């Protein structure tokens, strides 16, 4: 079986969620486009368990009051400011939890309020991938995303990538930690513990 086919099949089996490496190893670099990032952000925002963070942009719609509706940026202190409701805690909540909180607060001012909360833009949970991948750049972190999934999202490794010495750089307690990732092992279902869950701010370096 050709190497590229074997790699593609292995990735598809491991991911199990519809994210597959695009043709195994790629031969040309293409920076992540706005469309790529928008698609990934939409997938993250649509996840019901997404946790809102600072700098995220939220669209809030009150069906009976346009003045209270609009786009709101989550401040560094984790709050958003709405007309009448003033400061409301947003960070650390899912969109549904925030919606419930807003409806409860709005009962003082509106009769039978009904609101919708949508995460329009994600800025609080980003990961970074650089080096020999097809689409290096910044991607939003979705729940449960692992190293191999991020590599697939970035279009796969390039032909001459050193796939045995990929590194995940992570800041923990103010210090940088380095986690080795052997792509060749993981796609062969060996030492799969290397395929760790990613955290906000992680950087994957593909030499």
The residue with greater pLDDT, 27 or 17, is 27
pLDDT at residue 28, rounded to an integer: 53
**Chosen CATH of 57-121 out of 3.30.365.10, 3.30.1950.10, 3.50.50.60, 3.30.360.10:** 3.30.1950.10
Band (pLDDT 50/70/90 cuts) for residue 147 is very high
pTM above 0.85, yes or no: no
Q: How far is CA 127 from the centre of its chain?
A: 7
pLDDT over 90 percentage in the chain: 57
pLDDT (mean) for 164-191: 94
Report pLDDT for 138.
92
pLDDT given at position 121: 87
Q: Which pLDDT tens digit goes with each residue over 10-19?
A: 444 444 443 4
> How far apart are alpha carbons 55 and 204 in whole angstroms?
23
Residues forming CATH 3.10.560.10 domain(s) in the chain: 3-46+125-206
DSSP string covering 52-84: P-TT-EEEEEETT-GGG-EEEEPPTTSEEEETT
pLDDT tops 50 at residue 31: yes
Burial of 85 (0-12, 13-18, 19+ CB in 10 A): middle
Statement: residue 44 has pLDDT above 70: no
Tokens of 82: 């709405």
Which residues make up the CATH 3.30.1950.10 domain(s) of the chain? 57-121
* C-alpha–C-alpha distance, residues 143 and 68, integer Å: 30
Q: Does domain 3-46+125-206 have CATH number 3.30.70.3040?
A: no
Looking at per-residue confidence, does 32 or 85 come out higher?
85
């Amino acid at each position: 079986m050709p190497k590229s086919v074997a790699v593609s099949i292995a990735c598809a089996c491991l991911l199990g969620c519809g994210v597959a490496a695009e043709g195994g190893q790629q031969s040309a670099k293409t920076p992540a486009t706005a469309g790529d990032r928008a698609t990934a952000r939409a997938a993250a925002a649509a996840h019901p368990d997404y946790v809102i963070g600072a700098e995220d942009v939220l669209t809030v719609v009150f069906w009976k009051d346009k003045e209270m509706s609009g786009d709101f940026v989550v401040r560094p202190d984790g709050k958003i400011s709405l007309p009448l409701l003033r400061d409301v805690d947003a960070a650390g909540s899912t969109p549904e939890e925030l919606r419930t909180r807003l409806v409860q607060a709005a009962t003082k001012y509106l009769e039978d309020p009904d609101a919708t909360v949508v995460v329009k833009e994600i800025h609080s949970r980003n990961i970074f991938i650089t080096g020999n991948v097809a689409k290096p750049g910044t991607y939003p972190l979705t729940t449960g995303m692992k190293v191999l999934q991020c590599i697939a999202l970035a279009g796969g490794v390039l032909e001459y990538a050193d796939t045995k010495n990929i590194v995940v750089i992570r800041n923990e307690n103010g210090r940088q930690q380095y986690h080795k990732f052997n792509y060749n092992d993981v796609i062969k279902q060996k030492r799969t513990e290397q395929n760790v869950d990613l955290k906000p701010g992680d950087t994957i370096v593909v030499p």
